[in-house]
Structure 1
Amino acid sequence: MKSNNALSCLILFLLIPGALLAQYGTQKKADALFNKFAFIEAAETYKELIENDYNRDYATRKLADCYFLLRDPEKAATYYARVVEQEGTPPEYYYNYALVLRALGRHDEAMTWAKTYKKMGGEGRLYRDLKRDETSENLFENGVKYEINPVSFNSSYSDFGAYEFKGELYFVSSRPHTNQSEKVYKWNEQPFLDIFKRDARGIATPLKEGINSKYHEGPLAITPDGKYMYFSRNNYKDNKIGKDDKGVNHLKIYRAEWVEDSWKRITDLSINGKDYSVSHPALSADGKTLYFASDMPGGIGKSDLYKAEIRADGSFGEIKNLGDKVNTSEDELFPFINGENKLFFSSDGHGGYGMLDIFATVTGEDGAIDQVVNLGEPVNSNMDDFSFYMSDNGFDGYFSSNRGADPFNDDIYYFEKIPPLMLRGLVKDSINHKPIANAKLSLKDKDGLEIAYLETDAHGRYEINIDREKSYRISAGHPKYQEAAEKLFDTYNLSKRATEVIVNFQLVPVRDISVLANLNTIHFDFDKYDIRPDAAKELDKIVNLLTNEYPDMVMKIEAHTDSRGSFSYNDKLSIDRANATAEYLISKGLEKERIIASRGFGEKKLTNGCADGVNCEEVQHEANRRTEFIVQRMK
């Protein structure tokens, strides 16, 4: 009655090293809070991820989005400035950055990023066609994407107020169903509204337990335990109609009790009055607070939203106006409280797209309502959009609108939130299974055209937004590893609620200790085999590599000299150098069995042309006085 919104996760879970599990859980928590419009809590949780350097790019994007949705352009601009410097930034972030810069009065910068947005494939328009009032110059859309469709059980009459309870769907309709339906409501020349319930077969029937009368009923709300139903109705009870001193029949909220499989014991409520309307009941998640709309005296606007505690005995506590963050000088109607106790409602007093728009509230750290957020298109239109209901999963639900051809006929729409799709993965070492930081990945389209160039973070992870219904190919590489084979995947046939695609890589390390340990050349002084301090630092890298990175690696040592001196002397000197190297490694804790041979080659394998009789500088001779380490076995 109108007065004027697992399998891939399991695989990822199993791949996460134990030290990262807590941060992975923190990200899941942050994403869940974000999906349920708990943006302040989500922002603090994303900050934790950034501080712990876990999926920093993703957390920064989501943190920027939180402040964008909270309509805090200054903080949003701070984080969007970081986001637009990321590799592979989705175009919509350039768009959002332009919007917040404009809100801050930085118009030249805003136009620069608007042009970047268009250049990166954006649709080329910066501002939506929002209806703005003079006090809402900085209103900007929330950017949440929804897919909507009218439900199959709409009729040619008004249908609205869809509400689910324990698998059953209730709604309000003016469709004819009895002789009583011949009486019409003069406002739209349709029968009066009744409450219907749709069964498992899809058949909609009106409630018959004394709920529906010859006047308007609906919408409704049912307590979590199913014992009580609150519903709107014209002031009409026991076949008596109530009117004020001017002869006006107002709306009331009544309560019915579930007794012996039917709704009985309909009672008037103390919050009602005969001189004003009280309607559109909604219940808190625990069923202990009733929210409603009313034009009772003392309000802020034409119709305000209120709440009252429901005491254990069924009586009501003090009626409290929800305040000027929610209520305006116009109409606020159709409250709804989701499972997270977030308030959604309709208003034509907040800046929006058209007439009634649907809004979500944002609460501060003290739990008080801080501000409201317009749900944006396509939930809202330039017509009336109202009666929002969200399932506990936070992904789908219903709303109502008269956006069709006939503005007097409301229809019910089913909405489903389509979350961004993220490509995520872990790049690991195939031998020790440790994550590989700074691995390079190339994401290409099906034709091999590179879309993005990525790099793994300190935990070997990468992630980027991708499109649905497309084919991709991706490869990974790192200087210390053999390049992985290109992997093909696509995003067809995914669930609309899918949020990620997982593509992991295991890279095979190169069989080169110098590369793996980042070794500089190990040199010896002329005619000596002592381990120099600079050489010791390099040998310590080998101990660390074989002890901590590849505990099953086995190697051999080959030592060399320059050409000065006799062949036999140089052979002995190189053997001494090889043995001195092996002894040093063993003295630092490396097992003897890890070195299968220590060989000296004298001057037989010079690295340059500085042979006997060739005039060379000392630095050239030094290049030949070296020790090399060769991998014999890696598991």
Structure 2
Amino acid sequence: MSKLVRFVFYAFIVAFAIAPLTALAQQSGKSKSKDRFREKSATGREPIVRQASAICGPGNDYAAAYLDQQLVFVSNSARTGRETPNYKNRLNFDLYVVPLDANEEPMPPRTPFSEELNSTLNEGPVTFARKGKVVFFTRNNNRGGVQKAGADGRVRMKIYQARRGKYDWEDIRELPFNDDNYSCMHPSLSVDGQQLYFASDMPGGQGGFDLYVCRRQPDGSWSAPENLGPQINTEKNELFPFITYGSKTLLFASDGHKGLGGLDLFSVNLDKLEEGVLNLNEPFNSKEDDFAMLLNEDGTRGFFSSKREGGFGEADIYTFWTENGLENVEKPQANRVVISVIDGRTGQPIPKAEVRILQSTDDGFVSRRNDFYYTELAPTPNAPNSLSLRIVRKDAEALGPPDLIANTEGKAAADFTWYRSYLILASFDGYQTTERLYTMEPDKSGEVVVALFEEAVCHRMTGIVSTDKFNTRIPNAVLLFTHKASNRQVIAHTDLNGEYNICLPLDGEYLLQVKREGFKPQFVTTTAIRGKSVDNTIRLEPAEVAASPSADAAKTEAMLARPVQDGYIITMDKIRFEPGRASLNRSFVQHLDAIVDLMQRYPEMEIDLIVHTDSRGDAKGNLTISEERANNAKTYLVYRGIAAERIQPIGKGDTQPRNHCTRGVTCSDAEHEMNNRLEVKVRKVGNIVKVP
């Protein structure tokens, strides 16, 4: 048996202070179960495999699991200060988490997953219920946080579950089929939550560790464990099961089936056990240990762990992509859904409406696309040294060709994969684009109605405000439109590129006044026309200051060269921080990407990255989590190519609320959320990369 198998079985399973390592026979590479083995056939383009460098450390990193747009995994690569006193040369295994980008690639930072789940004991592989509200995980058998041995003096592993609370995981309890005298570990939950697969060396198996399944009963309890039988289990060891999205294929590791050496990765169709197990072969398997495979919903991307040569640590996590999916893995099930696009006022169908279908996270952010949003940096009203950064969905036409075009009855059809969340965008000329968040359940089918409403009367004005004197555009200029017939006024501002885009409520002539500090006000007359966009380029002249015209001109030129000034505060208050956690979710990453764009445009900019919390929770904990969020944000920006010396992370906790919701004051959730924010304080701007 390989070193990693011994390590997983004993260094991770057996009490370090109680049980000595038992001598085990080396894996021979042969198997008595040869008649149950199939070799993988050629399937076209070879899979692409590479080390997940954002995850791996010098120790052991393995057993990844998806959670929203994040990846949770097991590691002893980071020193945590929780080493057991009798096992000083190795660190305890804890759970860590990293964010995933739009291509499902892991990114820094790696952060501890949970204060409640990570402990002085060893935590192992996890699996999550579909919406991420319940976790099943492996941990040393314990009583009151102290390891508890069985009758033979060995500490076994057990499977525990916990539910997600407001601030962390809570209500930790062990599952009923655990026992002090054998181990249960490596849980994998089917997507419908009805089957729980795991590995165990309980009596009555084929030998070593076998794979088992428990089934959810009508009352919510679990059935007794069922051994998966001799077609899968051998006289040696089967470990790390993973049930795929379609719940028909089981991936697992084994040193009992014929392989390349040590633990190998295998798959088996649970509906066709007579076909035997399939060795995944190279590049997934090597002469070393290969185990703990994870597959995404489509079966095209995933992760596995390996102790192969060339790794960064002892055991490393690898990511892979395969164009046609893994052989022997079924495609996820889907239902046909008809999307009906109607006029929201009349109820009549809208033929030729455009429909775009995108995958979505549970909180409505689009996953697997980097081009869905743009960032907008705008002046904050009544705060001259403050800017607000907003993430805005692009117009439908900017997202490329539609996925579907409605027929003459306003209908379009598509297959929606079970349990997946989608964002449906419907659009048509003269109507407001409408979004629908839709999750496909197995019992759903039929029709989704999307109602479009006519756009408000809009007389669009667009243009640029610039100056010939300095040959540049003017940001943050104020535009005051006054309708001549009604005297109704509308105010707009230019963005950092000196551009404006506004809808005026009335047609006809407007008097437009444009002003900006350091320039003479400019008055022009323009006419708004319904159904037509009117574009104007307005040029301002520098103000004349008799006392020191050259100094004033220099000040104005400096302002234009750096529309973001030293000392400015840029506020991002739409981030959906996860309560009690410092990890980077999709919302956090989306806002940090906007900071990357800004700092790339200002390559000399230096910033303070300031994180605030609301007053819920204790003050010390709030300060700590704000500091962790700030440090994690810096780590991500550095990963994206921003020099570390340009960023100073600062956590303020709940010391600087923006409203009355201080400690002890009763406030609504919305009022508290106003105080959860990320601010960028500009210490130094430097030169800008100019927009022509």
> Which one has the bigger helix percentage?
1
- Bucket of the pairwise TM-score, normalised by the shorter protein: 0.3 to 0.5
Normalised to the residue count of structure 2, the TM-score between the two structures is 0.40
Q: Which has the larger radius of gyration?
A: 1
> Which one has the bigger strand percentage?
2
Normalised to the residue count of structure 1, the TM-score between the two structures is 0.43
